[in-house]
Structure 1
Amino acid sequence: MPATLIGLIWLAYFIFRKWKFRKYLALLGFVCFIVFTNDFLANSFLKAWQTEPANLGKIKAQNYTYGVLLTGMTNTLKEPKDRVYFNQNADRLLQSMMLFEQGIIDTLYISGGGATALRKDLQESRVLLSYLESINFPIEKVIIEDQSRNTVESARFASDFISKQRKILLITSASHMPRAMGCFAKEDFNVVAYPAVYFTNDELISLSMFLPSYEALLKWTILFKEWMGYSAYWLAGYL
């Protein structure tokens, strides 16, 4: 990750005091700091990678039996357990609920386990189901898959619940969508992307975008994670 990379470079600068090229480590660390905290660069690269927003008009013109929601939006380890704690990816669920309420999808299919070795009861899809129950969402229109541990398994296990002949609407983060679409296409699903969770902005260039910021570091971290994930999936033949 970018922050780790910067830290390791500067740590090497202090450790290798007698190395004749030591000064280049300091320069490299400074350059990496400038690049990875530059919001203009981070915003531009992340926008180029992520999937563009779906055309809602075209989406509404078609009916989808299933909206497939990928998990990764709650903190299942937080106490007390009488509520659901959401993170920044909660937009996935909010967009899914909007699509259901507008009649664009008939059934919400939630895919994701995420249980830990010590707690087998922490499947995130079940946590989300309990939240939907608490707000009186029509549970008879919800299907959960609680065994998958990653996007590959989400795509594979979906065939146990959904016919591959049906067109499905895939809902996940815009930065994660290229990898998710590849996995579902690999399993021969007829899938349409509905990306959510955008960390980028479309405002005009401003001076503040060139000042060091932690938001830029966050965007680069998301981008690095997806680049590495996509590359690993491609090498493994999952895409």
Structure 2
Amino acid sequence: MNFSSFFTNLIIPLNLCITLLVLAALCFIVRRRKTAALLAGLSLCWGVFWSLPASSLWAGGRLEQLYPYVPPQDLPAAQAIVVLGGNTAGGRRNWFEPYHRNRAITRVETAAQIYEAHRAPLVVLSGAALEGKISEAENMAAVLRKQGVPEDALVLETNSYNTHENGVYTAQKLKALGLSRVLLVTSALHMPRAMAVFHKQGITAIAAPSPPQIVVPDDPDFSFWQPNERAFDAARSIIKEYAGLLAYWVRGWI
């Protein structure tokens, strides 16, 4: 595990809360009572902050709103649609509501809608095999074939394990085909980092995110300020994006 992955995992709410409490206990044992109280207080504040829906809506919503969702028919034409792997089987409609498979909209389904709207003649699928032997690109291609996308419209990139590699290896594929203007499909939360990576590779990318997921639900009993387990779980992905943006900037990848 590299440092950026370690740092990201460390600051995930549950992990950091436990780490701070362990340090607080050690400080208490060695009679550093004030330090122990401070660490315990920080643990409590970090956990409570990320358990509030208002926090997720503020922090995650800011990222999602940088590239607003545009219906497929309203997107500009491009030379290809690029779909990034990652959570391609998820697509929860709203992070504050229970998951319903029949209401989910995945990245690959967003790409299918864009293709059906005749926004581009090719679909480039990017993602290596994170588990098993079948790559994410191949899994996405299978879904698109079932939805009527012809084989000759599919281009697969199966070597990338992260967003940076998505950009590097996909750019190589695109340049080999003489393509430079693409509609980039990923989740709304992930779009700011993905767009920065592709622009760094010299690709003219137009954001075509899946619909935002960090939005206020229709539930009349929904509370912004009542601790919520789903908000606490959502913090993992939100923090990952902020940490990823920082790490990619430090490395010169964006």
Match of 2:52 in 1: 38
1:165–1:190: 8 Å Cα contact kept in structure 2? Answer: no
Q: Residue 146 of structure 1 aligns to which amino acid in structure 2?
A: T
- Aligned pair 1:185/2:199, yes or no? yes
Deviations along 1:141-187, one digit per CA (max 9) or x if unpaired, are 11111112222222222233324654210001111111111111011
Classify 1:34/1:160 alpha carbon distance in 2 versus 1 (closer, same or farther; 3 Å).
closer
Question: Which of 156, 162, 165 does residue 150 from structure 1 map onto?
Answer: 162
2:112–2:144: 8 Å Cα contact kept in structure 1? Answer: no
Higher strand residue share: 1
Moved more, 17-26 or 102-111: 17-26
Match of 2:9 in 1: none
Match of 2:247 in 1: 232
- Aligned pair 1:208/2:230, yes or no? no
- Aligned pair 1:25/2:36, yes or no? no
Classify 1:114/1:210 alpha carbon distance in 2 versus 1 (closer, same or farther; 3 Å).
same
Classify 1:207/1:169 alpha carbon distance in 2 versus 1 (closer, same or farther; 3 Å).
closer
Shift of 1:98: 0.6
Measured in 1, the distance between the counterparts of 2:173 and 2:39 equals 53
SS at match of 2:209: strand
Q: Residue 133 of structure 1 aligns to which amino acid in structure 2?
A: R
Match of 2:91 in 1: 88
Match of 2:8 in 1: none
Classify 1:181/1:35 alpha carbon distance in 2 versus 1 (closer, same or farther; 3 Å).
same
Moved more, 151-160 or 91-100: 151-160
Match of 1:80 in 2: none
Measured in 2, the distance between the counterparts of 1:57 and 1:176 equals 19
SS at match of 2:62: helix
Measured in 1, the distance between the counterparts of 2:170 and 2:67 equals 24
TM-score by length of 2: 0.78
Match of 1:5 in 2: 16
Match of 1:159 in 2: 171
Match of 1:175 in 2: 189
1:66–1:168: 8 Å Cα contact kept in structure 2? Answer: yes
TM-score by length of 1: 0.83
Q: Residue 162 of structure 1 aligns to which amino acid in structure 2?
A: L
SS at match of 1:69: strand
Match of 1:98 in 2: 113
SS at match of 1:88: coil
SS at match of 1:137: coil
Shift of 1:191: 1.1
Measured in 2, the distance between the counterparts of 1:134 and 1:56 equals 22
Classify 1:49/1:134 alpha carbon distance in 2 versus 1 (closer, same or farther; 3 Å).
closer
- How many residue pairs match? The answer is 224
Structure 2 residue runs without a partner (length 5+): 1-11, 93-104
Match of 1:131 in 2: 143
Shift of 1:37: 0.4
Question: Which of 6, 9, 14 does residue 25 from structure 2 map onto?
Answer: 14
1:68–1:169: 8 Å Cα contact kept in structure 2? Answer: yes
Measured in 1, the distance between the counterparts of 2:72 and 2:135 equals 34
Measured in 2, the distance between the counterparts of 1:145 and 1:136 equals 20
Give matches, 1:27-66, under 5 Å: 27-50=41-64, 51-56=66-71, 59-60=74-75, 62-66=76-80
1:53–1:196: 8 Å Cα contact kept in structure 2? Answer: no
Measured in 2, the distance between the counterparts of 1:230 and 1:112 equals 19
